[in-house]
Amino acid sequence: MTRRLGYLGPAGSNTELAALKHDGRALLLPFGSNRAVAGAVDAGTTDEGVVPIENSLQGAVTDTVDMLIHDYDLLIRHEIILPIEHLLMARAGTDLDDVEVVFSHPQALGQCRVFLAERLPGAELVASLSTSASVEDMQQSDRTAAAIATSRAAELYRAEVIAEDIQDNPNNTTRFVVLAAADHRPTGRDKTSICFDFSEDAPGQLFSVLEEFAKRRINLTKIESRPTRQDLGRYIFLVDLEGHRGDNEISAALEAVRRHVSMFKILGSYPVGAP
């Protein structure tokens, strides 16, 4: 049976490229937002959904992180690491110096900030729902417009590339995750993502959690925080750690952490993505 795989569309987005890398034989179904992708998986409309969760330059994709914490009980089944190359494209015959407005996803606009400031200082920057949607926005604009998108989007929508490799940093990489009803079985080279918070603020609380991993020699690969949405100054902590939640030491550490926190959620165990 063909797997149904949702992604942030339309076709030509970086998320579609990540979906193709994950499963090139799947039936790819585009959605208009990351939340719609997650909703489709939650409703069973798709078997899995691909969403961006972290960029090497701009950090966490907060809408993805927040919906995993607050809105859905989906689990991360895979991660996909994708190098990002941004191109500036426009309607045929457009000169770079004539561009009045640039469309793209907010993440892409932020990742090309230096190029835009130096080469198009007077251009208006307009957010689109995705990089591929920005090409459609550009083509429908009644102004001299350009879009920041992928080479695949340029081919699909017959746009003319007027500048290549415009990202500020050549080491621009985005981490995508595959959401599903269940996470992945152990492979021997896995990662587990969790989140937690504390009901009250007190000295040493975060240390007490981190100590459970340290004394078991479990390596943490990322720790960050997001607002609880309840009170100013209260945060939910997100941790990525090496190992699968089914491993004995990992399982023992997670059970110990539960005793220190007020809210605890496993976001999934999954194979470590290949760069």
With respect to residue 115, please indicate whether it lies within any of the assigned structural domains: yes
pLDDT of residue 214: 97
- Strand-pairing partners, residue 226, are 236
Q: Give the pLDDT band (50/70/90) at residue 231.
A: confident
Asked whether residue 115 falls in the same domain as residue 64, the answer is no
Instruction: Calculate mean pLDDT across residues 240-248.
Output: 97
pLDDT of residue 99: 97
With respect to residue 185, please indicate whether it lies within any of the assigned structural domains: no
Q: What is the mean pLDDT of the chain?
A: 94
CATH of the domain at 10: 3.40.190.10
Q: Which residue is catalytic, options 15, 94, 150, 174?
A: 174
Asked whether residue 94 falls in the same domain as residue 125, the answer is yes
Asked whether residue 74 falls in the same domain as residue 94, the answer is no
CATH of the domain at 207: 3.30.70.260
pLDDT of residue 3: 93
Instruction: Calculate mean pLDDT across residues 106-123.
Output: 94
Q: Tell me 51's DSSP state.
A: E
Asked whether residue 249 falls in the same domain as residue 207, the answer is yes
Q: Which residue is catalytic, options 31, 103, 176, 196?
A: 176
Separation of alpha carbons 97 and 76, rounded Å:
44
Separation of alpha carbons 172 and 94, rounded Å:
27
pLDDT of residue 159: 96
Name the token pair of 222: 């990322």
Instruction: Calculate mean pLDDT across residues 172-184.
Output: 96
Distance of CA 212 to the CA centre of its chain: 28
Q: Give the pLDDT band (50/70/90) at residue 49.
A: very high
Q: Is 35 helix (H, G, I), strand (E, B) or coil?
A: helix
Structural domain boundaries enclosing 50 = 4-84+172-180
With respect to residue 54, please indicate whether it lies within any of the assigned structural domains: yes
With respect to residue 209, please indicate whether it lies within any of the assigned structural domains: yes
Asked whether residue 176 falls in the same domain as residue 198, the answer is no
Write out pLDDT tens, residues 69-93.
999 999 999 999 999 999 999 999 9
Q: How many residues does the chain have?
A: 275
- Looking at residue 152, its amino acid is R
Determine the number of helices (DSSP H) and then strands (DSSP E) in the chain: 9, 15
Prior bond to 10 cis, omega within 30?
yes
Pairing of strands 145-149, 87-90: antiparallel
Q: Is 70 helix (H, G, I), strand (E, B) or coil?
A: helix
2 in active site: no
Instruction: Calculate mean pLDDT across residues 86-105.
Output: 96
Domain boundary among 115, 148, 180: 180
> In total, how many domains does the chain have?
3
Distances (CA, A) of 10 to 24, 74, 89, 167, 247: 16, 23, 17, 22, 39
Q: Give the pLDDT band (50/70/90) at residue 174.
A: very high
Residue with tokens 């609880």: 228
174 in active site: yes
Asked whether residue 176 falls in the same domain as residue 74, the answer is yes
pLDDT of residue 9: 85
Q: Give the pLDDT band (50/70/90) at residue 198.
A: very high
Asked whether residue 57 falls in the same domain as residue 176, the answer is yes
Asked whether residue 68 falls in the same domain as residue 106, the answer is no
Asked whether residue 125 falls in the same domain as residue 224, the answer is no
The angle at the Cα of 186, spanning 36 to 182, to the nearest 5 degrees, equals 25
pLDDT exceeds cutoff 90 at 203: no
Q: Give the pLDDT band (50/70/90) at residue 201.
A: confident
Q: Where are the alpha helices (DSSP H) in the chain?
A: 14-22, 34-43, 62-70, 106-111, 113-119, 131-140, 151-156, 205-214, 248-258
pLDDT exceeds cutoff 80 at 5: yes
With respect to residue 125, please indicate whether it lies within any of the assigned structural domains: yes
Asked whether residue 75 falls in the same domain as residue 96, the answer is no
Q: Where are the alpha helices (DSSP H) in 82-235?
A: 106-111, 113-119, 131-140, 151-156, 205-214
Asked whether residue 66 falls in the same domain as residue 91, the answer is no
pLDDT exceeds cutoff 90 at 213: yes
Asked whether residue 110 falls in the same domain as residue 228, the answer is no
Q: What is the percentage of the chain residues whose pLDDT exceeds 70? A: 100
